[in-house]
Structure 1
């Protein structure tokens, strides 16, 4: 059974908070983010990683790949929709909570409207604080590609913000 070195486990544990935020930025919902984080960690623990791999970068790559797999699965499931009952009884208890919820929803909707490549690049740099070079390494693309994806994402977000509903 593959295993991680002690140092890789420590790096992975230290990166979990940032990795969860990345999952949330990709998925848009806390429940999906938790599922994506769990899938990511499970894959890493099941399959291990090369001894010379940077554990943090490896985890982001595994996460990205798990999200792509999930999107593909959702596409297949949408072809054969199932009826589901959603619990809508969760109401905020205060006006501030409601305002925050609306603001977070607006951000989530705006991010989810971006193409996945732009959303991942923007999330790594703007949310997680990764450098362009680190994001490029994680997503396995040139730095210039990261720069153009982020520029297009920001332009789209600004354009959509200024467009009346």
Structure 2
């Protein structure tokens, strides 16, 4: 494996782990490291792509971890790279929206959060997600639709709550 391929795989895994863990940096790093340890300590099945197998390993590790412990509260720290310091008001609104999305994502079921993260954040096809999660493509589609609907409802409720706070 080339260094550029490894770097690209690590970036993809970090984005996926970010969506699974709610952005807690230590959890992201731990999950990426555990995933890479498993991926490089075992032979990749010849019939699948390395990235697909890595996502599957990562998903299984996260599910195991999720079952062992209750999820911690979301970190209040926002990634600096996601806000534009030039426009302070817009930056505050962006920060509020990002926080609302993080909170809403954590309120989704694990199944919905996984499918939404793989399709939306990582740009995977329904077929790739189905292979990673060992579910039919139709299940991927229905979970994605439900996740999007639920996320929309949660964000609308959050927006309504914010309007009431400032009135």
**TM-score (structure 1 length as normaliser):** 0.76
One of 138, 141, 144 as aligned partner of 2:132:
138
Give the Cα–Cα distance (whole angstroms) in 2 for the partners of residues 51 and 158 of structure 1. Answer: 39
Q: How does 1:18-97 map to 2 (within 5 A)?
A: 18-31=12-25, 32-75=27-70, 95=88, 97=91
Aligned length: 149
| Cα 1:59/1:106, change in 2 over 3 Å | same
User: Which of the residues 79, 97, 107 maps onto 2:101?
Assistant: 107
State the 1:42 CA deviation: 1.4
CA 1:44–1:102: 2 relative to 1, 3 Å? same
Aligned-pair CA distance for 1:66: 0.9
Q: 1:147 aligns with which of 141, 147, 150?
A: 141
Query: Do the aligned residues in 1 keep the contact of 2:20 with 2:113 (CA within 8 Å)?
Result: yes
What do you get for the CA RMSD once the two structures are aligned?
Answer: 2.9
Stretches of 4+ moved more than 6 A in 1?
87-90
Q: In structure 2, how many angstroms separate the alpha carbons of the residues matched to 1:24 and 1:151? A: 21
